[in-house]
Amino acid sequence: MSQEVSKKKRLQMIVKIFTKYKVIQNFTQQKNPDAVRTAFEELGPTFIKIGQMLSVRTDLLSPAYIKAFKSLQDNVKSDDFSEVKALLESEWELAISDIFTEFEEQAFASASIGQAHRATLKSGQKVVVKVQHPGIISAINVDLALFEKAIPLFAKIPETKVIDLRSVLREVKTSLDNETDFLKESKNAARFYKNNNDWHEVKVPQVFPEYCTKKVIVLEFMSGKSLRYLLEAPKNEIAYENVSNQALKKKIGLLLVESFMKQVFEDGFFHADPHPGNLFLQLLNPNIENLATERVGRFGPFGSEATWKTKNQLPPYRVVYLDFGMMGNLDDNLRGKLTDTVIALYTQDTAAVAQAVLRLCRQEGPFDEYRFHDELEQFLVEYYHLSLKEIDLQQVLSQVIGICNANNLQMDQAVTMLIKAFGTLEGVVEELDPELSMMEVLQNFAQKYFFKQFDLKEEAKRQGLNLFKNLRSLPKLPEKISNALDTVSNGKSRVNLEINDQKQILDRLEAMVNRIVIALVLAAVILSSSLLVVSSPDAQPKFVDNLGLFGYIAAFVTILLLSLSYLYRRFKK
């Protein structure tokens, strides 16, 4: 009963906020995106996640809505410490004082899913304790249940029919399941730490798995400020030594792009939400000797290796990744497909681009391959005369997704998440260094990954076997040609023709035939009714006259209904 009451209250809140910000009207008409974003932020994590999912649907949303949904924030009021303490001690089955020498009661950050507290372990290690808001999972489940029930109502709005709402709901459920399970996040954090900590100037906090549960995660405390601090700093101000903030922005922009490409092509495991709030900047003291070892990944034509090298003086800054609830996985097969797509774009091979894109999609309805190739070619031709620096990669990817959706093709979910992460990162990099070409960096990493996967010996074997097989078939070629000519000359040949839009043509033909049949039947009814009424003698029973009149009325009503149906279809068009 209590759950029903909470659903009722939540529904009232949703209706109130939707009415206040005119969400339905604004969204369907693509007006006032800031109001819709504010409404989603007020409604909490479920709606924020829906907005984030829609932020990559450039085929559905205007650029203003895309920008607004990408900037969705989820700052919420922190919970009272008594509730937090009760939850922590219940999860650990220990008192807080048994684990920590210090624990700050006031949270220094609070988002939709949880809040973060600074603390110090008995060992002296400074950590951050991230704890879920009590009751957040049940609140999310109420939202999801209401959203599922509302899908048939939303489907009646014409503008929402092009959105697969059930697919969006599935994605939201999956994403929120991952973000509300801190054990998964702790494993993600440990894997990301292993792959990226000390890669160039990148730092990642260490996770303490012995203190992690489904509702609590404990990470190494990392000093620093949000990257937003650097973005808003005066560009000519000195950051360190003789390096200005503007120069530092360029260095960090390149570092972030290279780090992301390394995550995608080398690790197959990437941070899917690299916005400024999840990126910290550490500025070290350049006067202190900064000898350190740095792990550097190096690609070669036949493989890759990670080495440690000592640098006399590392630059006095570090970029720290935080929050590992949204992560993306790409297996070797998917990375190979992505590489094929990028190389096909680079070589301006439209047919290869189309085939590579098709391999990344699944068909969700009627599909016309010729139309798809034609639309893709018309779009890509516009970019072939541009240099790599002039190509807006995010725009290219968004347009390609739009063409796919228009042709009933659905991108792999991992690729959709990659494009969303790429779009988020591009927004950050554009603020740091507008002149940086992400396409150039992407192309370099894709080529390196291609060479890494390329096995010259294996490729030589494969081509040799193909050549040998073709040589064995060569003597049989004259016989096959002769048999083909005999078949044609004997009249046994058969040609298979494939007609584009065959189903639509047959449907139109069937509709035309049906109209002709109805017209003939109506003409027959009118003619027979006329004969019955005109030729019947006065002595004939009244029944014959009535039958003729009934035929007239039935024909008239049928003609009227057909006319109204035709006018309605024209009006609807």
The 10s digit of each residue's pLDDT in 157-208 is: 655 555 667 777 787 788 788 888 999 999 999 999 999 999 999 999 999 9
Highest mean pLDDT among 195-209, 276-290, 445-459: 195-209
Q: Are strands 317-321 and 279-283 parallel, antiparallel or unpaired?
A: antiparallel
How far separated are the first and last CA of the chain, in Å rounded? Answer: 47
Look at 15-24, 462-471, 480-489 and tell me which has the smallest mean pLDDT: 462-471
Average pLDDT over all residues of the chain: 80
Task: Tell me the angle at which helices 45-54 and 33-43 cross, rounded to the nearest 10 degrees.
Answer: 140
Task: Tell me the angle at which helices 350-359 and 369-381 cross, rounded to the nearest 10 degrees.
Answer: 120
pLDDT at position 221 over 90: yes
Amino acid in the structure at residue 284? L
Over range 366-372, report the average pLDDT: 83
pLDDT category, 494, cuts 50, 70, 90?
low
Over range 439-451, report the average pLDDT: 67
User: What is the length of the chain?
Assistant: 573
Q: What's residue 172's pLDDT? A: 79
CA–CA gap between residue 122 and residue 210 (Å, rounded): 14
pLDDT at position 3 over 60: no
Where does residue 224 fall: left (phi above 0), alpha (psi -120 to 50 degrees), or beta otherwise?
A: left
Over range 331-351, report the average pLDDT: 81
pLDDT category, 289, cuts 50, 70, 90?
very low
Instruction: Report H helices in 44-181.
Output: 45-54, 63-70, 81-92, 136-154, 165-179
Instruction: Find, among 328, 332, 335, 240, the residue nearest to 281 by Cα.
Output: 240
* Beta-bridge mates of residue 327: 271
SS3 call for 561: helix
Q: How many CA atoms lie within 13 A of 304 on its CB side?
A: 18
pTM: 0.71
CA–CA gap between residue 269 and residue 249 (Å, rounded): 25
Q: Are 117 and 128 in contact (CB under 8 A)?
A: yes
Look at 153-167, 320-334, 517-531 and tell me which has the smallest mean pLDDT: 153-167
CA–CA gap between residue 193 and residue 290 (Å, rounded): 21
Contacts 24+ apart (CB under 8 A), 151-159: 157/24, 157/28, 159/27, 159/28, 159/29
Look at 77-81, 138-142, 301-305, 435-439 and tell me which has the smallest mean pLDDT: 301-305
pLDDT at position 532 over 70: no
Q: What's residue 218's pLDDT? A: 97
Over range 34-58, report the average pLDDT: 82
- pLDDT single digits (tens) 87-127: 999 999 999 999 999 999 999 988 888 899 999 999 999 99
Let me know the angle formed at the C-alpha of 131 by 128 and 133, rounded to the nearest 5 degrees.
145
Where does residue 536 fall: left (phi above 0), alpha (psi -120 to 50 degrees), or beta otherwise?
A: beta
pLDDT category, 63, cuts 50, 70, 90?
confident
Return the number of other C-beta atoms located less than 10 Å from residue 292's C-beta: 11
Q: What's residue 65's pLDDT? A: 85
Q: Are 320 and 346 in contact (CB under 8 A)?
A: no
Q: Are 76 and 436 in contact (CB under 8 A)?
A: no
Q: What's residue 122's pLDDT? A: 94
Q: Are strands 269-271 and 327-329 parallel, antiparallel or unpaired?
A: antiparallel
Backbone angles phi, psi at 185, to 5 degrees: -65, -40
SS3 call for 58: coil
pLDDT category, 464, cuts 50, 70, 90?
low
Q: What's residue 558's pLDDT? A: 81
CA–CA gap between residue 514 and residue 512 (Å, rounded): 5
Q: Are 357 and 406 in contact (CB under 8 A)?
A: no
Q: Are strands 238-240 and 292-300 parallel, antiparallel or unpaired?
A: unpaired
SS3 call for 126: strand
Q: Are 174 and 205 in contact (CB under 8 A)?
A: no
Q: What's residue 299's pLDDT? A: 42
- 533: Cβ contacts below 8 Å, ≥ 6 apart: 545, 548, 549, 552
pLDDT category, 294, cuts 50, 70, 90?
low
Look at 115-119, 123-127, 421-425, 495-499 and tell me which has the smallest mean pLDDT: 495-499
Q: Are 103 and 117 in contact (CB under 8 A)?
A: yes
CA–CA gap between residue 478 and residue 475 (Å, rounded): 7
pLDDT category, 279, cuts 50, 70, 90?
very high
pLDDT category, 324, cuts 50, 70, 90?
very high
Look at 39-48, 331-340, 377-386 and tell me which has the smallest mean pLDDT: 377-386
Q: What's residue 132's pLDDT? A: 93
The string of DSSP codes covering 361-402 is: EEE-S---HHHHHHHHHHHHHTTTTS-GGG--HHHHHHHHHH
Over range 305-316, report the average pLDDT: 58
Q: What's residue 312's pLDDT? A: 46
Backbone angles phi, psi at 199, to 5 degrees: -85, 110
Q: What's residue 301's pLDDT? A: 37
Q: What's residue 123's pLDDT? A: 94
Q: What's residue 460's pLDDT? A: 59
* Beta-bridge mates of residue 306: 297
Q: What's residue 503's pLDDT? A: 63
Backbone angles phi, psi at 355, to 5 degrees: -65, -40
Alpha-carbon 183 to chain mean position:
24
